[in-house]
Amino acid sequence: MAKKVSLACATCGSRVYSTTKRDDVATRLELNKFCRRCNAHTVHRESK
């Protein structure tokens, strides 16, 4: 079963994206996405 997580920008902290993640993965998810607030591609990390 997958759970829904939100992704926060590492630079400004805005939470724009959400995705699903498998339950058996212990590490936090990191994806390179476009941040509308920073107007650049930045790392987005899984937030609580």
Beta bridge partners of 15: 8
DSSP 42: E
Please state, in angstroms and rounded to a whole number, the distance separating the CA atoms of residues 1 and 13.
28
The model's pLDDT over 1-47, given as tens digits with 9 standing for 90+, comes to 789 999 999 999 999 899 999 988 889 999 999 999 999 999 999 99
Q: How high is the pLDDT of residue 31?
A: 94
Q: How high is the pLDDT of residue 25?
A: 87
Q: How high is the pLDDT of residue 17?
A: 94
Q: How high is the pLDDT of residue 1?
A: 78
